[in-house]
Structure 1
Amino acid sequence: MAVGKAKIAQLGYDEARPAPVVLISGPEQFLADRAARTIRETLRSADPSIEIHDVDASGYTAGELFTIASPSLFAEPRLIRVTGVEKSSDAFIDDAKRYLEQPADDTTLVLRHAGGQRGKALLDAVRGAPGHALGAVEV
């Protein structure tokens, strides 16, 4: 779990829960996977019709996040799991920062950052957002 002067809620891996934006940070892959699985299972138990989308931030193309997060005809809830944020394309960083300004309703965005400096501006944007306004948490 990252430590710092974050404004968003800081949770342990074993406290992972859904939120509009969840940042899972740190190099502990096993614990990060378990936290992501807990979030998925919690959302699925609340609504089995949840749509789950996996995005690789390193191969991301501009606009993809907004396409996935846009409301569907039946308004199913969504879980968008983004891996490799530490290797993300510039397009992903730009789109994710824009997404943070107005997260989609009934959507949980999970950002997985394993460490390093790449994507730091995005992490700072997530961490610096008032947690009550964005509804973000960090695991």
Structure 2
Amino acid sequence: MTDLLETVVENREMVQPHHANALDVTHGGNVMKWMDEVGAMAAMRFAGETCVTARVDQMNFERPIPVGDTAFITAYVYDVGDSSVQVRIVTEREDLRTHERERTTESYFVYVAIDEDERPTSVPELTVSTEEGERLRREARTGESTR
């Protein structure tokens, strides 16, 4: 069994001009790609198997990430099925000079664990053994149900 806090993955992407659209802010497709990659890392860390994207819930872009800032992406597993892994993914814009952060995007992805024959395979139970883990799970379930 794997504990929720063991699945947390954080990553930063420096927003460069080639990531930007005509408004000099990150193209939404890049944000989605980065979120999918970090979410898959959390899912695989949990499952101990290769995981593929099965579903992406609604994704709202609340604010842009300008060129020169970083996209700070956090993902963690909050629920599982037989072979499915539910991951909450939050992206924040971060100014490295001031350490200021603000949420830009949040979504819920479902990944499926697959075996070497690329067929769905079972995943372990998810445990939650700390107050911080319970808080994160509660936030994910609440956010998912309000979408």
Give the structure with the larger helix fraction: 1
Q: Using structure 1 for the length normalisation, give the TM-score.
A: 0.25
Larger-gyration structure (1/2): 2
Give the structure, 1 or 2, with the largest relative contact order (CA under 8 Å, sep 6 or more). 1
Give the structure with the larger strand fraction: 2
Q: Using structure 2 for the length normalisation, give the TM-score.
A: 0.24
